[in-house]
Amino acid sequence: RSSAVPVLEVRDVTVRFAGLTALDAVGFTVRPGTVHAVIGPNGAGKSTCFNVLSGVYRATSGSVRFGEHELTGLPPHKIAGLGIARIFQNLALPPRATVEDSLLLGRHRLTRTGFLAAGLRLPSAAREEARHRERVREIAAFVGLEKQLAQPAGALPYGQQKLAELARALCMEPQLLLLDEPVAGMTADERRRTAAVIAGVRDSLGISIVLVEHDMGVVMRLADSVTVLDFGRRIADGAPGDVQNDPAVVRAYLGE
């Protein structure tokens, strides 16, 4: 896990809103196949950071490199197309669609033959569809939802809906996953299960992850490295154990 070339390199990113600096020259790097956590008190700039990484906000200055791609200025769909998938803090799956259909939609970016061939019922389109369905079943099994494929997503317990969203993101075959508070609102049991799935995404699938999370237990268990933000500034960066004991971090969390 100490490979040389970072998958993501955030350099001196500043985001200003009228009269407020939400991010102030923030930088961090994510090594391939690792979980990098971005933590900090409310209003620290975590969501702003995600919005810059996914192209929802444009940085006032600074740069974000993803492999050989410069992301600064790219719209969200271009960034997603390069292989960065994001899971939002709130539920986003269409509640009435089955889990299987939602996951198939998640593979849309990867569809080669396209709607014309599918509409004409060409054999190539049928073969491709069968491949996608097979992959959807594999991914559902990976997150533990293979038995829920035929159910409407909205009928599942909250924890399983979040796992279905994770599965949909995995259906894009991303290189980098942005997780915004993935265990918020979950029971202790659901938290454990979700954390185990996230660890599997890193360890078995080799996908790199940027994790914003309030649950320190989950951060300490999952993160390989941590950046701590406070009032838009980076106040600490390093291994989870070191960061946790950093006096500046303790002060920020105690609200001094």
Contacts with ligand ADP by CB under 6 A lie at 17, 20, 22, 40, 42-48
Does 208 sit near Mg ion (CB under 5 A)?
no
Which residue number places its CB atom closest to Mg ion?
47
Residue 52 Cα to chain centre, angstroms? 13
Number of residues that bind Mg ion (CB under 5 A): 2
Does 47 sit near Mg ion (CB under 5 A)?
yes
Q: Which does 22 bind (CB under 5 to 8 A by kind): Mg ion, ligand ADP, none?
A: ligand ADP
User: Smallest gap, in angstroms, from Cβ of residue 115 to ligand ADP?
Assistant: 35
For ligand ADP, the closer CB: 5 or 20: 20
3-state secondary structure the chain: CCCCCCCEEEEEEEEEECCEEEEEEEEEEECCCCEEEEECCCCCCHHHHHHHHCCCCCCCEEEEEECCEECCCCCHHHHHHHCEEEECCCCCCCCCCEHHHHHHHHCHHHCCCHHHHHHCCCHHHHHHHHHHHHHHHHHHHHHCCHHHCCCEHHHCCHHHHHHHHHHHHHHCCCCEEEEECCCCCCCHHHHHHHHHHHHHHHHCCCCEEEEECCCHHHHHHHCCEEEEEECCEEEEEECHHHHHCCHHHHHHHHCC
Residue 21, beta-bridge partner list:
16
Q: Which does 202 bind (CB under 5 to 8 A by kind): ligand ADP, Mg ion, none?
A: none
For Mg ion, the closer CB: 2 or 90: 90
Counting every residue, how long is the chain? 256
User: Smallest gap, in angstroms, from Cβ of residue 88 to Mg ion?
Assistant: 11
Q: Which does 191 bind (CB under 5 to 8 A by kind): Mg ion, ligand ADP, none?
A: none
For ligand ADP, the closer CB: 52 or 171: 52
Q: Tell me which residues in 58-87 interact with Mg ion (CB under 5 A).
A: none
For Mg ion, the closer CB: 128 or 180: 180
Tell me which stretch binds Mg ion (CB under 5 A): 39-47, 97-105, 131-139, 170-178. Answer: 39-47
Does 227 sit near Mg ion (CB under 5 A)?
no
Residue 98, beta-bridge partner list:
152
Residue 60, number of CB atoms within 10 A of its CB: 14
Q: Which does 249 bind (CB under 5 to 8 A by kind): Mg ion, ligand ADP, none?
A: none
User: Smallest gap, in angstroms, from Cβ of residue 209 to ligand ADP?
Assistant: 17
For ligand ADP, the closer CB: 11 or 16: 16
CA distance 130 to 141: 17
Tell me which stretch binds Mg ion (CB under 5 A): 47-55, 103-111, 117-125, 226-234. Answer: 47-55
Q: Please give the residue ranges that form the binding site for Mg ion (CB under 5 A).
A: 46-47
